[in-house]
Every structure is written in C-alpha cells, then in structure tokens.
Amino acid sequence: MTVRQKLYEGKAKILYATDDPDVLVTYFKDDATAFNAQKRGSIEGKGAFNCAISSHLFKQLAASGIPTHFIAQTSVNEMQVRAVTILPLEVVVRNIAAGSLCQQTGLPLGTDLPQPLVEFYYKNDALGDPLLTDDRLQLLQLATPAQVEHLRAMALKINDLLKVFFAQCDITLVDFKLEFGFDRTQQLLLADEISPDTCRLWNQASDDPEQRVLDKDRFRHDLGNVESAYRQVMERVLKV
Ligand code: TMP
C-alpha cells in the first residue's frame, strides 16, 4: 500500500496529495473545535456526515453553475478535490441574526435581516479570524476590489441556491461560511466544505431555540444530541 503524503492537517480535515498534482484528497475527521480551538472534542460520525453532506451540496451547486473544487466522494470520509490556493478569507453570509452578529451588534437572536449580509473575515487563527473592512482588505492586499465583488456575487448566488435547497429539507439556512481558492489556471473555485460545522441550520419543525439547532452550535454551547443533529441533516440533505 502506498503511503499518501499528508500536505496539511487542519482542525477538522486532512489534505493528502495524489499522483496528480492537480488533484488532492480531503479526509474529514470526527474532531471538533470551537472558539478558535479553545474548546475541543470529538463528534462520533461527524467526518462521514460532513463528507456526505458537503459532497451532495457541492454537486448541487455545480449543477447550478457554481465552480467548485469537488471532483468525487471516494470513500465514507474522503472526497477528491481540485488543488487550489486558498484565499485567506472566510466569506460569511447571514440571513438571520445569530452568533457573532448578535454579540457585536446587539441584534436579538433570530432577527430576519432585510437582505443577506456578506462579511469577510481574515482567516488567521493567531489573530482570531478578525472581521475585515473593505479598506483593510485592500490594505492587506487580500483581494483586489474586483475580486471582492466577484466573491460577494458568488456568495450571494450560493446563498440563494442553498436557501432553496435547505428549505426543501424543512431546514432554515441562518448563516454559513465559505472559502474560495484559485486553481492552476487562476479560476476561482468554491472550496473547503459546506456542512453543519460551517452553517447554522434550524429545524423548521421546532420553534424552541435549543431544539431547532441542527449544527455545530449544539457542540459549541453543550446542547447535547450533537451526533443525531448531524445525522438528521445528512439524511434530509441526501433525500433531495
Ligand atoms: P459567527 O456568527 O460565529 O461569526 O459564525 C458565522 C458562520 O460561520 C456560522 O455559520 C458558523 C461559521 N463559522 C465557521 O465555519 N468557522 C468559524 O471559525 C466561525 C467562527 C464560524
């Protein structure tokens, strides 16, 4: 058996090289962290749930014209992806106020936003992934103004598609985080993952602020039943 070269190990995934320099393998781990890794744990089956959910969502988005790094799901915990140079940005889209938006603005949890809010964060653990302004994006040369506009437009289109998709699963898409990268031909591709680790997802069948949570907030805030929430998202997503 050939030993694969590990290129990078993050908090929730490992990236391996393949014989083709343009193709990598992402392995989804059960490890979970929150609050910039101050809280650590493991969610049994999370790797498999997130790999299946992400694969399905990337396929759906690709079918709607979104260029993504996804090639194929190759095992329970693994997907083949195109090699990209990841932009050091976390692009967050919010439909409903939750999380850091509530903490930083005082908006009550659950407030419907009049239009989707797109935010850029600096992907830098040492700095705690700070919120960026347009001027800071330019100052740090993280993206040109044209690239920022392109990212914003892609993020909004992805939000439109995912909102409709999750609604078919009786799930409300509250907010989510995206990452993008450039492939060897300088094409901008949606990358990383889309899963209950990176989205806030509320069960439409419940109004209870704790019961409705089907995402990593269950782990972040010790709400219990974390595995069953992830499993429920996978089962619903795979049916659509
Ligand atoms: P926030 O409210 O904590 O800023 O999170 C906004 C969205 O981004 C939420 O869906 C969770 C996701 N997210 C990540 O995927 N990774 C992170 O490191 C953080 C802080 C949030």
pLDDT, tens only, 16-26: 999 999 999 99
- List the domains of the chain with CATH numbers: 6-82 (3.30.200.20), 85-225 (3.30.470.20)
Structure tokens at 147: 């690239």
Residue 6's pLDDT is: 98
Which of 90, 92, 124, 158 has most ligand 1 atoms within 8 Å of CB, for mutation? 92
**pLDDT tens by residue, 50-101:** 999 999 999 999 999 999 999 999 999 999 999 999 999 999 999 999 999 9
Distance CA 129, CA 137 (A): 13
Residue nearest to atom 7 of ligand 1 (CA): 176
Is 90 exceeded by the pLDDT of residue 2? no
Structure tokens at 221: 């805030």
Residue 112's pLDDT is: 98
Cα(114) to centroid(ligand 1), Å: 20
pLDDT band at 3 (very low <50, low <70, confident <90, very high): confident
Residue 57's pLDDT is: 98
Q: Where are the alpha helices (DSSP H) in 169-205?
A: none
Which of 129, 166, 171, 177 has most ligand 1 atoms within 8 Å of CB, for mutation? 177
**Three-state DSSP class for residue 229:** helix
Does residue 99 have its Cβ closer than 6 Å to ligand 1? yes
Does residue 159 have its Cβ closer than 6 Å to ligand 1? no
* Nearest ligand 1 atom to alpha carbon 101: 2
Q: Which of these ranges, 1-15, 30-44, 174-188, 207-221, has the smallest mean pLDDT?
A: 1-15
Mean pLDDT for 119-127 is 97
Is 90 exceeded by the pLDDT of residue 191? yes
User: Are 36 and 218 a contacting pair, CB within 8 Å?
Assistant: no
The chain-wide mean pLDDT, for the chain, equals: 97
* Nearest ligand 1 atom to alpha carbon 36: 18
Does residue 100 have its Cβ closer than 6 Å to ligand 1? yes
Q: Looking up tokens 């979104």, which residue turns up?
A: 66
User: Are 101 and 93 a contacting pair, CB within 8 Å?
Assistant: no
Q: Where are the alpha helices (DSSP H) in 26-78?
A: 46-63
Residue 1's pLDDT is: 57
Residue 208's pLDDT is: 97
